[in-house]
Amino acid sequence: MHLKIAILLLGTAAFARSVYDPILTSSMDPSSYANVDVIQTYDFTLTVDVSFDQQLIKGSNILTLRAIQDVSEIVLDYQGLVIESASYQIPNISTTAWNEAYFETQTDSQLGNALRVYLTDKAKRGDQVLLDIKFHTTNESLAINWLTKEQTSSGTLQYLYTKCEPIHCRGIAPLQDTPSIKTTYSAYVTVPQPYRVNMSAVCLSQDEYPQTKTTMYSFRQTIPIPSYLLALVIGNLAQKTIDYRTSVITEPDTLEEYAGILKNLGNLLNETEKYVMHPYIWGKYTILVLPPSFPVGGMENPLLTFASPTIMVKDGSQIYVATHEIAHSWSGNLVTCKDWSNLWLNEGFTTFIERRVSAIVDGEGFASVESLLGNASYYDDMAGYGQTNSYSSLYPLVNHTSPDSASSQVTYEKGQQFMEYMKNQFDKETDFQEFLGQYFNKYSYQSITFLETRLTFNDFVRAKYDSVKAEGIISRVNWVDWVQTPGPIPAGSKINFETDESRAFQKLADDYIALGGYSSPANLDIYTKEDKNVNLKVVFNNQILQRQGDMNYRILSRIDTDLSVTASENPEIGQRWFPLAIALNYDKAFDTAKHYVQSIGRQKYILPVYTALVRNGYRKQAYQWYNERKTFYHPIAAANIRKIIFSSRKQLEGYEEQIQNSRDVDNLFLQ
């Protein structure tokens, strides 16, 4: 590991060290440098001014910490920031005066920077310490995303949003950026008028200053949250109430449309709350639909879920994303993984709850098809990693590597299947729901590992059933095989998500291939008439994509003539159809494919299309499509498109292996 060291001298006294001690990663979380084992933040106050002209955030973060043991230094995480000064006070030692502090920084290409602040007065165990860090951002911050007017739907104002998960909150402000601790926070954000501000907190006030034509928004989050749930959005924003505790925020030109699509949001929240047998503690639930250039699918920030406009399809096929983010209100936001190797406690639990709520609201068939498609993507990810790689397990080893590199469908789908397997060991589903309720109650506001989960599961089973039955269940649920062992789920688990309907749609695809494009299957109307579970159409398209080697232009043309696939507005279908059409030189789909990639910014959907263009000899066309809309794409997406366009064939095969059929392509290339 090569570390670039910078020592900054503050104050009038000379300061130097002949021997420099490297800053080590946290003993509690290898993805953070924060020394949370000896001193922990329990509140912070972020005060910033935002300049869109300079694309700059400038201000201070005052952290309130408590010493776990005697300590003379505090280590924070930061990335893409310039640290201007540091000062501290320990109120119960002497006075309330602020003491200027010496600090050192250490950079790391994987984890960002470490900031070590020295305390002249040693803090004793139990002492409160206030630490004030003044800073400003640079264009290197991975958390802060600046959009031009052209990248928004209304085209009236610039736009800013943040994306902190997993380790990018350190790009907003210096702090202890680890899920192993939780804090409350306050924020004071000053912006030019007429910009509006929202955060993952309750807005307390808006104070206008006519002289400077600015507005200061004040926020408070009283429920402790991990740092990755800090969220900030600024733009031309409007809000509409859906029911007594749900609402939607977006740009004014799409507000009514999106509110209509989300009209059942309150019902999804109610059903999720019933299923987990634990109250929703966050008060209101609001979805913020971001501009079309938003490069990812969603983010479960409390009080302000971020969502891509790609989920706002009128057929309702993408509403599962909203259900998923609602479920995070319990698994992830209330009970949190202690480090990123335990991410499945967030995502596996959440995907399981999402599917069970989908089964209640839309039927078991709908949930099974979701799981069937998810299972295919999880196997693709395992194939990319290798089935003996820890990344193919529910406990990926992310020591001193960005946790983005291990983010995949494995944590979602294998985790969901483990939960499904556990549920199946109980006499009835309500018994497992009771376990969930007790689990969320026991670990509310805490960060844990799977070891605590295992212990709680075993304790619940022993309390619920007689000793013989309980020990039988415990022996069948092998946590080592399910969690720590890479590769497919344990043999004999009897997890199967196929349904008669999904098999029929797979067979329809096979029949088209068997007929060679010379005629059509007799039962093609199962596709054209399907309007209840439109994800079955995705199953069909997934099957023909999987059998690409057996496809040809004639078959594809027959399918399109019969089923109008090119004209589909479902982005999940486009993600599969357009790469196949490009590979088979089906020119009738090219104009629509161009519109598809130029109107959607979400990487999950557009990167496979650009990859197909380059792989099949259309590199120049790929560049033309990109170049025409390069100001529309988010910088992360634009950079990834350029990687594909200008890559060698070998590099391209590596990218393709990662993005094909993977919902978690949203997180690729961020490290």
**Peptide bond preceding 210: is omega within 30 degrees of 0, i.e. cis?**
no
Sign of the CA dihedral running 407, 409, 414, 419: positive
Q: Taking 80 as the threshold, does the pLDDT of residue 12 lie above it?
A: no
* Superfamily (CATH) of domain 4-236: tricorn interacting facor f3 domain (2.60.40.1730)
For the segment 352-401, what is each residue's pLDDT rounded down to a tens digit?
A: 999 999 999 999 999 999 999 999 889 988 988 999 999 999 999 998 88
Instruction: For CA atoms 93, 98, 103, 108, give the dihedral sign.
Output: positive
φ/ψ of 424, rounded to 5, equals: -70, -15
Tokens of 115: 């900031």
pLDDT in tens, 252-310: 999 999 999 999 999 999 999 999 999 999 999 999 999 988 888 889 999 999 999 99
Confirm whether residue 347 is marked as ligand binding: yes
- The pLDDT score that the predictor gives to residue 637 is 85
The residues near 469 (Cβ < 8 Å, ≥ 6 apart) are: none
Q: Looking at 251, 325, 354, 452, which residue is catalytic?
A: 325
628 is in an annotated binding site: no
Whether residue 663 has pLDDT greater than 50: no
658 pLDDT tier (thresholds 50, 70, 90):
low
Which of 71-85, 165-179, 292-306, 634-648 is predicted least confidently? Answer: 634-648
* CA neighbor of 373 nearest in space, from 347, 424, 412, 342: 412
The CATH class of the 570-671 domain is mainly alpha
Domains 4-236 and 570-671 share a fold: no
**Tokens 């290339």 appear where?**
669
Per-residue pLDDT tens digits for 81-135: 999 999 999 987 656 789 999 999 999 989 999 999 999 989 999 999 999 999 9
Give residues with Cβ within 8 angstroms of 141, minimum separation 6: 79, 80, 81, 168, 171, 172
Contact by Cβ (8 Å): 149, 208: no
Length of the chain: 671
Residue 354 falls in the annotated catalytic set:
no
- Separation CA 372–CA 374 (nearest Å): 5
pTM to 2 decimals?
Answer: 0.92
Q: Which residues pair with 147 in a beta bridge?
A: 159
Single out the catalytic residue among 378, 412, 596, 626: 412
Q: Which of 262-266, 577-581, 616-620, 648-652 has the lowest mean pLDDT?
A: 648-652
Q: Is 324 flagged in the annotation as binding?
A: yes
**What is the DSSP pairing of strand 56-67 with strand 39-51?**
antiparallel
State how far the Cα of 504 lies from the Cα of 488, in Å rounded to an integer.
26
**pLDDT over 50 at 7, yes or no:** no
pLDDT reading at 2 higher than 70: no
pLDDT over 70 at 510, yes or no: yes
Amino acid type, 486: P
In the chain, where the domains are located: 4-236, 570-671
325 given a catalytic annotation = yes
